[in-house]
Structure 1
Amino acid sequence: MSEGYPIKAVLIAGPTASGKSALALELALNAGGIVINADSMQVYRDLRIITARPMPDEEARVPHRLYGHVDAAVNFSAGAWMADAAKALEEVKAGGPLPIFVGGTGLYFKTLTAGLSAVPPIPAEVREAVRARLERNGVEALHAELARRDPGAAERLNLRDRTRIARALEVIEATGRSLLDWHHEGQPPLLRKESFRAVFLAPERDELYARIDARFDAMLGAGALDEVERLAARGLDPLLPAMKAHGVPALIRHLRGELSLEEAAAIGRADTRHYAKRQFTWFRHQLPEFEWVKPGEAGGWLAAAMSAEQHSS
């Protein structure tokens, strides 16, 4: 288990509205695959339309896993997803269908290919106190504090790396243990580096943003507002992940009479575009093993992935 599953897998990532699901479905149909969700919002059963989850007819064509299996009242985590992904992989461990992971949540792909740290959640008050000291005293002072309390972690970090210095200090302050200790106790990756092929669909920005806008309007036409109204009626904590899905907060404000539908839609479209921009940045820096291709080139990449899988079996 610690060395990962001895299987082949295909990983399809990309920003929202880049055509990932269609590519995964095509591959699954042609290669006899099982599609496994790697999108943190598509896990919620309450949100099919507003998260662009595969429709029932698509799910009926090939096996799909980890879609809509979590209630919106649950604060679903990367660790919980990793456990569910491990169960899905068990189904194909012994020569079963090709596992095809598809989604836009970088952290899910990170846990899949690099494992998961065992660091417990950091209390909000600790995080806020450390960030306040960072803003007040500067990164040099924070690094000096870290060097006193956790010399090993401080030695490994660039003196100007504000984010990682703050993170290491939060961990030692909240747990009394070094971040390095927690990392040593983390969960190993589910897939070995040589056991998967990974692609990131990278459309031109203008084209992508136009697709995002058009899709958001299409989702409204398909009943997204009714879906959000049913979710809002549950009276859930607004800080839950499902309550913060792109478009949901603005549409809830519309339902309360605070915004017109067009104002809410404009916010939803803009939030989704901003998220897509962050996805580009995250994958570029965090998952360099993903091969970037234009959606128009995805067919060629798909054929190559299928050929590689056939030759390896």
Structure 2
Amino acid sequence: MTKKEIYSNDLKNWNVKRGASTHSLYLIGEHASPPKFRRNNSSNHLNIFILCGPTASGKSYLGHELAKAYNGEIINIDSMQVYKEIPIITASPPKSYKTEVTYHLYNFLSITEDFSVIKYLKLATEKIKEITGRGKLPILIGGTGLYINSLVFGYNNIPDIMEDLRKEVRELHSKIGNIELWNKLEKLDPLAASKINQNDTQRLIRAYEVFMQTGKSIFSFQTLLKEQILSDFNFKIIFFKS
């Protein structure tokens, strides 16, 4: 049997709750494998599998086998595999796989086209809802940490701070210190001031510069962020260490 076929169930399990959802992480080493999940069609619509890790770690093979066993469809979560021009470099799924399982968001975009994490999240969310709407299991495979983190925990869509303003705020802080800067923040953004300790320099400066740039509390962006999360789903994350 090959290395990919001798997986066992010796896994380290990690869980985190967000609202009604529970997300789990399974770490897979050189001779380890995913847990044995029971087939349960009535609850499949609540689960999303994410298989991530380095190239040639076995995640594509495992994802394909999971999709066949659990009535799943696969969604790409790798920033390079979206492009048409580089399927070989990024080890895109072979044609034989695509005859057995439905694959989404692979090699559909020209490398000359603009693409971002926000655009990816929109497409991936649509695919996830389409797949679960058909009563099937979404399985995401890839290695782009920003895409994975943004899908599970949401994306921070705060605009970039202009360099001149960033420099100005840091110079102001160096002159007046934490307490006075916190007092200024409290007048401008009471919500942020109530949540940020006066001694937390980094968060204090960040909240102040965000308000000066946007006229909005940094926590208003975080509220919008939470609304974008797929809160009705449990993410089962399988990470391949090698």
TM-score (norm. length: structure 2)? 0.64
Select which of 52, 68, 71 maps to 2:91: 52
The structure whose residues are more often strand, as a share, is 2
Code of the aligned partner of 2:84 = R
User: Are the aligned partners of 1:113 and 1:192 in contact in 2 as well (CA < 8 Å)?
Assistant: no
Structure 2 unaligned spans of 5+: 1-19, 22-43
Structure 1 unaligned spans of 5+: 204-313
Shift of 1:166: 4.9
Q: How does 1:121-200 map to 2 (within 5 A)?
A: 121-125=159-163, 129=167, 133=171, 137=174, 141=177, 145=181, 148-149=184-185, 150-157=189-196, 159-160=199-200, 162=202, 164-186=203-225, 187-192=227-232, 195-200=234-239
Number of the residue aligned with 1:307: none
User: Are the aligned partners of 2:59 and 2:240 in contact in 1 as well (CA < 8 Å)?
Assistant: yes
Mapped partners of 1:71, 1:130: distance in 2: 40
Number of the residue aligned with 1:102: 141
1:64 aligns with 2:103: yes
User: Are the aligned partners of 1:43 and 1:68 in contact in 2 as well (CA < 8 Å)?
Assistant: yes
Mapped partners of 2:98, 2:182: distance in 1: 50
Mapped partners of 1:160, 1:29: distance in 2: 50
Number of the residue aligned with 1:271: none
Select which of 73, 80, 84 maps to 2:123: 84
Identify the structure with bigger relative contact order (alpha carbons < 8 Å, sequence gap 6+).
Answer: 2
Q: Identity of paired residues, percent?
A: 33
Mapped partners of 1:142, 1:29: distance in 2: 57
SS in 2 for 1:185: helix
Alpha-carbon spacing, 1:126–1:143, altered in 2? closer, same or farther (3 Å): farther
Mapped partners of 2:113, 2:107: distance in 1: 12
SS in 2 for 1:61: coil
Aligned residue pairs, count: 196
Shift of 1:184: 1.7
TM-score (norm. length: structure 1)? 0.52
Alpha-carbon spacing, 1:191–1:37, altered in 2? closer, same or farther (3 Å): farther
The structure whose residues are more often helix, as a share, is 1
Alpha-carbon spacing, 1:170–1:54, altered in 2? closer, same or farther (3 Å): farther
Mapped partners of 1:115, 1:125: distance in 2: 25
Code of the aligned partner of 2:235 = F
Shift of 1:188: 2.4
Code of the aligned partner of 2:237 = A
Mapped partners of 1:17, 1:127: distance in 2: 44
Shift of 1:177: 0.9
Shift of 1:81: 1.1
Shift of 1:33: 1.4
What does the per-residue CA deviation read over 1:34-80, in whole Å, with 9 as the maximum and x for residues that have no partner? 11111222222222223333233333331111112222233322221
What does the per-residue CA deviation read over 1:94-115, in whole Å, with 9 as the maximum and x for residues that have no partner? 3432110122223322332233
**RMSD of the alignment, in Å?**
3.5
